[in-house]
Structure 1
């Protein structure tokens, strides 16, 4: 069966806030409990689109900013993502009308990127598990560090919030729409960010934050957030501090060693601070393991500021 409802936040990730697959969600002022399969998803979210000439020009400009090795990797990715469209074009021009062949081609266009994400998620799960157990030692191993950083950046870039934000920025700048090219571009951006972080990993640290109060950590449909607003700086990573809640009582923080918190145990005030940041960066949905917690948030959102 073709996967049409496609998640931009991993179902496996959201399980940490769920009981028997049920999670509490705050959306548009309403709170409801539902199966994790029903949230942070959209029909055909990853469906590939045929690239136009202006899309290729955009990719050439974007990829041209990378190192020679990076450019080769990016063009290889473009080639992979273009395969489904080329198959569909061949079928159309060859006037093949076999229903099974047509369905296979259509399924490939719909599911290719979804399956690409799944492969990354499958490798990411072990790192998530280690962090939930309070162990970030894998970050000291170069091969683990590069795989973790890449997966983290992909999760950051894959969401509906980032796609919409990038589309709005492109439109405001008078640039062509990124709708057709976003699937490829998001992975290129993730790889570029990840490469910069990896090259500066000796200056960075990965810490596990542990909640020590009766307030649980929230997550949202933008589960990885940058705690630092972008600003010009000689250090390319000075504007990146990725906060990533892993469960109601643990979160990961990837940041410069010089910016690392002195205390990784979160009291009530610190937990509320991180939750407020998560709420402010959310797009449409906030998730909790507690209905009462979301009721308090909904009440605050309705109150005049």
Structure 2
């Protein structure tokens, strides 16, 4: 059986790298490989009888390594965001800018607590008939920090490779109701989500990404939201805000106290 092919359009080496029994051909980000090697080292530390201060050092290195990488992704994205605000979608005619945007959006999808919790819950349910399922779930939870990074890289790569077939929309909010963001800043609003559950996860994506109180970006498989290129009304703004708030498990950020209070009254969210 042929090994699966994985591509990531950001950095790395063309040389195939053997990771966890698989040969990944194409672009392999050096950061992913480094994280996996670190995870293997930390696994030996965790399994050995080491003093607590060694374990504390492990946790510091783990957190700092990943947060530093995310900080780089965010730092590269902010200039692209400013270009989008000033130039609109024409800023994404640059391949480099599109790569940076797709990378950022991909990681915003997978690095959140709600994505982690839903993913692990679905995997635990799927493996419930396996005798050693809890052991695998434990390994999954322990290594989620690097798994989420790999997933985010793959989501970003998929968005980039599909960029010409997806619908890219910039929505200007001229209503009196501002967009909100939160703990899950990019949410899937494709119609299939309403019919999904742990056994049948969504198979399509229409991604909603509010980038300011009066501006949002969408990258969609469907054409269901193409009309938003022209305008958006308050009712639609309210629906998107509520979706963001629910996906963010109540942790919401808004530009006015009024919009936060509205969210609180509707779903019990916290600022």
Taking structure 2 as the reference length, the TM-score comes to 0.71
Tell me if the contact between 1:74 and 1:188 (Cα under 8 Å) persists in the aligned partners: no
Which ranges of structure 2 fall in alignment gaps of 5 or more residues?
Answer: 1-18, 128-132, 197-201
Tell me if the contact between 2:84 and 2:90 (Cα under 8 Å) persists in the aligned partners: no
CA 1:108–1:295: 2 relative to 1, 3 Å: same
CA 1:109–1:274: 2 relative to 1, 3 Å: closer
Correspondence 1:251 to 2:216: yes
Structure possessing the higher relative contact order (Cα contacts under 8 Å, 6 or more residues apart): 1
User: Partner of 1:286 in structure 2?
Assistant: 252
User: Partner of 1:50 in structure 2?
Assistant: none
Correspondence 1:196 to 2:158: yes
Structure 1 residue 132: deviation in Å? 3.3
Distance 1:280 1:88 in 2: 35
Structure 1 residue 216: deviation in Å? 0.9
| Greater mean alpha carbon deviation, residues 263-272 or residues 177-186 | 263-272
Correspondence 1:180 to 2:142: yes
The structure that is strand-richer by fraction is 1
Distance 1:226 1:87 in 2: 34
Tell me if the contact between 1:88 and 1:106 (Cα under 8 Å) persists in the aligned partners: no
Select the residue among 163, 166, 170 that pairs with 2:123: 170
Select the residue among 76, 80, 83 that pairs with 2:38: 83
Tell me if the contact between 1:156 and 1:224 (Cα under 8 Å) persists in the aligned partners: yes
User: Partner of 2:184 in structure 1?
Assistant: 222
Taking structure 1 as the reference length, the TM-score comes to 0.64
Which ranges of structure 1 fall in alignment gaps of 5 or more residues?
Answer: 1-58
| Greater mean alpha carbon deviation, residues 168-177 or residues 213-222 | 168-177
RMSD between aligned residues: 3.5
User: Which SS does the other structure have where 2:264 is aligned?
Assistant: helix
